Structure 1
Amino acid sequence: MKSLKRKFVNVLAVSVLFVSGCNDEEFLDTAPLDTTTSASFFLTEEDAVRSINTAYDPMQNYWYYNFSVPVTYNILSGDAIKGGNSLEDQGEYNQFANFGLITSDNSRLQNMWELMFIGVNRSNLVLANVPNIEDMSEAIRSRILAEARFLRGLHYFNIVTMFGRAPLLTEPASLDNLDQPLATSAEIYAQIEADFTAAADVLPDSHDASNIGRATKGAANAFLAKARIFQGKIDQTTSDLLDAVINSPVGYSLLGNYSDNFSVCCDNNSESIFEVQFGSGADVSVWAANGVADINANWTNVTMGPRNTTVPRGWGFNQPTQEFLDFFNANSDSRGEDTIFVQGDALPCEPGSTYDETVNSGTMGPYNFKKYQDFCGSRYDSAINFKVMRLAEVLLLKAEVENELGNTGTAEGFMNQTRARVGLAPITGLSQTDLRMAILSEKRAELGMEGQYFLDIIRMGMGPDFYADRGFVQGKSEVMPIPASEIAVNGWEQNNGY
């Protein structure tokens, strides 16, 4: 089928582009090389290292962790509005504010689908080719293959939580395996668990300074536990996996200052378990290469930085809602001050400048996102890493598991660790039902606008309770539609209701 081949050959072509260079200090600073193929590339140990770097690279993209994934989930959750200059400015994100408006031809869903599968295919290329390199250290080979299993598991975790069903690819895309059916979420989760398990068996607890940021045993165990929780596998095995992270010889610990997690000072810190690595000196043309630009910097400064300030800074997307601010204020929770810009807030490194909510334009609301804002650096060139998994989330997942296992006192102890960090009183003596909701509320505060809250509500089956007034339909709205172009080319059945 010619159209099918054309579609997947295009994805394959994007996926086999490798790096032109790599240094130890910024191992994820990759640049595509459009004349390289897998047949001529996988020859040396250096090639193997460069190839695994490309499997990390898509996560830096504007349409992945650098903007689209967290922003989409923040809007879906109701904690954010699109923002921007006008209703039409990146207007497809408006669909996520009303479940009844979400359509399969939303190009932002297409962008995210493509970037996630580029990550899957690059991981598969590593797994298929690195074992055949002859002149290579076995220790490095084993580590790289484990990293590839971890990354494939993470990319697929993002695919299954967003889309529910997808083709399950465990070999590189080629002309011989184009006709792929949609796998069920259960089949995808089984592969995710297998990948994270295999990664955890091999990956080290930590890396030397030249490899900081690569996947570790702690990251693999944390995401394995999270994947099990998302399937409802809340049992002793899951609890033990979380214990393995909490008690890791690495010595993970909460930072004393909550906001340091999102500041230029503190990348790859003691609380961090897995981060998307960013660096300065990036290609600032996000629109290059058909939307698959080689972006190495964190773009939060410009995409989510305040537009309505005395010193214009950014484009003003991903704006916190009034209800989200009220949530923090009602609980006297200082994490709101570290998450949301409000009237009169000082703007760091801009003497005399304050956030001014009265200077409005377009569809903007009065507040702005504060995390990851580097006012002391370039608008387009921030090096602050995006934290995908922190110890704080692991502690709250552990609290949830212990509560569901009937150990409410133990669960409260884990939850109270994140509360104590920000000076909140401990919570004690709750029923299992009340503690379940308290943990959900704590996660909303601790992981505020980090793209997690909607996913927690959905996996707990509470979508109709939280989102009925926004058109949520049970049995449909838990996942997004598979992009229409993929349905048309491959002949798949669309997700229910779309």
Structure 2
Amino acid sequence: MNKLKIYIAAFAAILLASCSESFLDSEPITSLTDANFYKTKADADMALVGCYDGVQVIYANGVAFPVVSEVLSDNCFGGTGYVDSYNYQLLDESDISRSPGDVDLFNDTWKAYYKAIYRTNVLIQKMDQIEWDGDEAARNAVESEARFLRAYSYFDMVRLFERIPLLTEPSNDNIPQSDPAATYQVIAEDLQFAAANGAETVSPGRVNKWAAKAMLARVYLFYTGFYGTDLPGVTKAEVLQGLEDVIASGNYSLIEEFKNLWPAASTTVNEAGDDLVTTYAGKDNAETVFSVKYNITSDYNGNTDGNHWMVMYGLRTQSFSPYGQGWGAGTVLPALYNTYQETDARKTASIIAVAEEGLDFDNSDQREYTGYAIKKYTPMSYPDGHSIPEANGASNFMIGQFQDYVVMRYADVLLMAAELGSTNAQTYFDQVRERAGLGSIAVSEANILKERRLEFAFEGIRYWDLLRQGLDAAGDALAVNTRVLDGGAEMTKVISKQNFTETRGFQMIPQSQISLSDGVLIQNPGWNF
């Protein structure tokens, strides 16, 4: 096995530096302006780095999409500290009265998305003024990546808020929210362009045509499931063929052992008890189709390159190597832990079972304690208690985490192709189950959805899979009336189906944005303050 130092050294090749913001500021602080920039292929590449950086930074402040997707789901409760605000309970329970002062809970998130979208819109608008020297492939690659990143940003937003202002070019106009069908049409068109024109090669940290084909399938399944109608301009046959293309490309494969996809799951303390050993497959392994990249260099001076949200999932203020400390959000429902078969390798690779692992965890400062926590995305520490990021030069464990967010894995490609009716559906389904150590069962929509929950737990997918099954079914799955521990004392945790259905599964528009729009923006149902 490799020393964990190998894992530390396996940073992504692309470091998305925050200095890329300079040429996109409204008041330039460098010599780069619209008048002298966007001229050469090198300018285009630099601007594209800024687009990637914009997407990377989306999750750095506010409530990050990967976290909110799990808190909203039936995988996790809100958790956090016993004396913290109740903002995560507000989300979990679809109830503004749980934390009435948090009417701007998503304000930083909202602004970050539109900053990222602005960057992509600028670059797309400038494509014709760049001198490509006859290199049409280079032009198509840049535009494909920019349009993928715009589609990715809008897909997050439209799932969170449904009706959002739709901007496809740089603008300061105060425009009303668009019908979701219009937003989804732009997303689909962007992904279709990227699928047709994107690079075929796989480069760490870069979008290619295969990622676009896979993402189009995810969009298609959500839209057709939730809205019960065709995705504008996209056919089922086109989507399925795209997935078959990804599979046939030979660029991706399942990692042999599921635990090796995840740093904490694949890492143990050595026999001497003074170091860690790991079998982690590394960033950009054969199963990664698309990920949001992070590195260790975040600081409080404008560099925002680290994974700032993963600290939320760490065990509350305590470390048990290889697990590091964090803020105790996303406590895992025992029902999910018990859904896994004992022979399912994903059970212990996905979830920290406190009692079963013999951890002497003090839950007196933990809200909604269940005895289970997220393992896939958790901070890590050395046996001496030092945070791995801090020990390797990070500013601190809160902003220095560097595990990538794997948005799309090859396993998802296989299961989506099976769900969409591939002639190889049983084979694809069996491949995922066999990797988990399970035998073959009949492929069906119901069995695929069950498998998806177990395969993709804590990867920001489950809640959206629930929504696409319909509000009634989703509400039944989310409703809870159970006992948990708050600060070590028993209390009743209730999640109401009625609260959920009143919101239709969407989140509140930040009040600051409604005020800034002079009432042009309208609050979503179920979130009246």
- TM-score under structure 2 length normalisation: 0.76
Q: Is the 1:255–1:261 Cα contact (8 Å) retained in structure 2? A: yes
Of 337, 358, 361, 1:357 maps to: 361
State the Cα distance separating 1:465 from its structure 2 match. Answer: 2.5
Most deviating of 372-381 and 265-274: 372-381
1:6-58 per-residue CA deviation (whole Å, 9 max, x = no partner) reads xxxxxxxxxxxxxxxxxx93242332435154444324333221211121223
Instruction: State whether residues 309 and 355 of structure 1, in contact with CA within 8 Å, keep that contact through their aligned partners in structure 2.
Output: no
Query: What is the rounded CA distance, in whole Å, between the counterparts of 2:377 and 2:102 in structure 1?
Result: 31
CA deviation map 1:429-472 (0-9, x unaligned): x6xxxx32221111111101111111011011022322345233
Contact 1:60 1:277 in 2 (8 A): yes
Q: Does 2:436 align with 1:422? A: yes
Q: Which amino acid aligns with 1:95?
A: L
Partner of 2:381: 375
**Equivalent position SS for 2:430:** helix
1:495 is matched with: 524
Partner of 2:485: none
- Specify which structure has the higher proportion of helix: 1
SS in 1 for 2:77: strand
Q: 1:472 to 1:359 in 2, by over 3 A?
A: closer
Partner of 1:317: 329
Q: Distance in 2 between matches of 1:294 and 1:345?
A: 40
2:453 to 414, 439, 444: 444
The CA deviation at 1:248 is 1.8
The answer to whether the 8 A contact 1:306-1:368 is kept is yes
Over 3 Å counting, the alpha-carbon distance change for 1:468 and 1:313 in structure 2 is closer
Classify 1:194/1:466 alpha carbon distance in 2 versus 1 (closer, same or farther; 3 Å): same
1-structure distance, mates of 2:504, 2:220: 21
Kindly tell me: are residues 334 and 135 of structure 1, through their superposed partners in 2, closer, same or farther at Cα, counting changes over 3 Å?
A: closer
| Residues 1:326 and 1:59: Cα distance change in structure 2 (over 3 Å) | farther
Other-structure match for 2:211:
219
Contact kept, 8 Å, 1:196 with 1:223, in 2: the verdict is: yes
**Judging changes above 3 Å, is the alpha-carbon distance between structure 1 residues 466 and 101 closer, same or farther for their aligned structure 2 residues?**
farther
State the match for 1:275 in structure 2: 291
The offset of 1:266, in angstroms, is 1.5
Q: How far apart are the structure 2 equivalents of 1:111 and 1:163?
A: 14
Contact (CA 8 Å) 2:62, 2:108: kept in 1 or not?
Answer: no
Segment of structure 1 superposing worse, 467-476 or 42-51: 467-476
Write the distance in 2 (CA, Å) between the matches of 1:261 and 1:58: 26
**Whole-Å separation in 2 of the counterparts to 1:400 and 1:156:** 24
Residues 205 and 249, structure 1, Cα contact 8 Å, conserved in 2 = no
Distance 2:131 2:464 in 1: 43
Residue correspondences, number: 443
Cα shift readout 1:375-433 (whole Å, capped 9, x = no counterpart): 35213534322100011111111121118xxx7xx4333222111001111112x6xxx
Match of 1:389 among 398, 408, 428: 408
1:132 Cα offset (Å):
0.9
Tell me how far apart the structure 2 counterparts of residues 338 and 67 of structure 1 sit (CA, whole Å): 25
Q: Which residue of structure 2 aligns with residue 191 of structure 1?
A: 186
What are structure 2's unaligned runs of at least 5 residues? 1-11, 225-229, 264-279, 383-387, 390-396, 481-494
Would the alpha carbon gap of residues 77 and 372 (structure 1) be closer, same or farther in structure 2, given more than 3 Å must change?
closer
Q: How far apart are the structure 1 equivalents of 2:410 and 2:325?
A: 31
Q: Residue 82 of structure 1: SS of its match in structure 2? A: coil
Residue 261 of structure 1 aligns with an amino acid whose one-letter code is L
Q: Paired residue for 2:17?
A: 29
Per-residue CA distance 1:262-319 (angstroms, 9 max, x = gap): 2364211111110111122x1233xx7xxxx532123466332223445763222222
Counterpart Cα distance in 1 of 2:161 and 2:262: 28
After superposing the two structures, state which structure 1 stretch, 47-56 or 129-138, moved more: 129-138
- How many Å separate the matches in 1 of 2:332 and 2:62? 18
Letter in 2 for 1:84: T
Residue aligning to 1:111: 108
1:247 aligns with 2:239: no
| Contact 1:99-1:477 within 8 A present in 2 as well | no
Q: CA RMSD in A?
A: 2.8
Deviates more, 1:484-493 or 1:356-365: 356-365
Which residue number corresponds to residue 454 of structure 1?
A: 463
Compared CA separation, residues 343 and 230, structure 1 to 2 (3 A): closer
